[in-house]
Amino acid sequence: MSTFALEAVDGTARAGRVATRHGMFRTPAFMPVGTHATVKALHPDEVRDSGVGVLLCNAYHLALRPGLQLIESAGGLHEFMGWDGPILTDSGGYQLVSLGAVAAVDDEGATFVSPYDGARMRVSPEEAVRNQARLGADILMCLDHPVAYGAEQSAVAAATERTHRWAERCRTAHADSGRLLFGIVQGGFTGEGRRESARTVTSLGFDGMAVGGLAVGEPPELMLQLTETVVAELPADRPRYFMGLGTDAELLAMVALGVDMFDSVVPTRLARNGTALTPSGHLSLRNARSRDDLRPIDEACPCAACNGFSRAYLRHLFAAGEILAHRLVSLHNLTHLARMMDAARVAILEGGFSAFRADAEGRLGLAAG
């Protein structure tokens, strides 16, 4: 039985279902980031109640703290963090960009310096797959080598070739355990490089395909153009995952291109900074305009923040330094994105995604692309 069921296509936008060892989730799907085996400030039940069906955890950070052995002895990530739904783990490849100053790479793997205690951690493609399996993840990611926007073409070519070799090694190391393994497309910032990488990684027969190495500082127009190039080369019967996006306009643009899965720290990071996501854009709850505003963040939202609390109260909580502010707005932001993904899915199933996107972007004050 296939792990991905494509239910409808509207233009190039898609609606489907992904089956995993810990249940099914529907696409399009936004995955909150639980870097340290928690979505910051929220109980797993609250995350589930927000409408989220799948989480992302970071294998690199968890291997450093609290360590693979402890999580494994606890029964895996699901038992350890109290989440019974699907979990995708990031292999650590992104840290070669985000932690470039304390990371080194060669053909055999990557060496990281722990930001916690300075210890060195060596990760090969084989170890990246094994480590994620030890954590108990349902969807594993290949170790890849992304590069920052603006890198020399020679560095891009070397990193892309390395990504392809590592993908083969990850595929060979992957045990047939019911866990899904996703390949990652790199190729830098040219259409030719992206097209070639997509074809190479697709040929290895992964359970799903990810678009990596974008949303790293390149112009938004280039990001969309290169994603469209990649998606045109990806198999229709596998889920497609764009790594690292989390705003309304970005998600809708990628759904329109045929991408199925997304992740980002944006909704919870914005929440901790006092910013709520709304159908009309970002709402700063720290702003003086919210001081006497007794309306909820979004009258149509069913979340706990909107069901009983006002903008004025939330502003007061932020001003007072109360942790409840982080909890409530984080829950709202996750609920907002989950509802938007659900609404996009319904629109695709009903053949009305273009109109849905145009309406959403109109409320955001954007011109539909």
pLDDT at residue 309 in the model: 98
pLDDT of residue 2: 67
pLDDT value of residue 1: 42
Looking at residue 98, its pLDDT comes to: 59
Strand-by-strand arrangement of the 55-58 sheet: 29-32, 261-264, 240-242, 208-211, 180-185, 139-141, 87-90, 55-58
**Coil, strand or helix: which one is 321?**
coil
Q: Among 62, 71, 91, 36, which residue's Cα sits nearest to residue 243?
A: 91
Task: Taking the CA atoms of 115, 118, 122 and 128 in sequence, report the sign of the dihedral they define.
Answer: negative
- Burial (CB count <10 Å: 0-12, 13-18, 19+), residue 234: buried
d(CA 254, CA 225) in angstroms, rounded, equals: 11
Which stretches of the chain drop beneath a pLDDT of 50? 1, 368-369
Listing DSSP states for 109-142 in one string gives EEEEE-TTT--EEEE-HHHHHHHHHHHT-SEEE-
**In this predicted model, what pLDDT tens digit does every residue of 147-201 receive, in sequence order?**
999 999 999 999 999 999 999 999 999 987 899 999 999 999 999 999 999 999 9
Q: Which two tokens stand for residue 251?
A: 């998600």
pLDDT given at position 118: 76
Q: Which of 244, 214, 216 is nearest to 229 (CA)?
A: 214
Cα of 202 vs its chain's centroid, Å: 20
Q: Parse the chain into domains and list their residue ranges.
A: 4-264
Fold of 4-264: TIM Barrel (3.20.20)
Residues in the chain: 369
Residues involved in catalysis: 90, 263
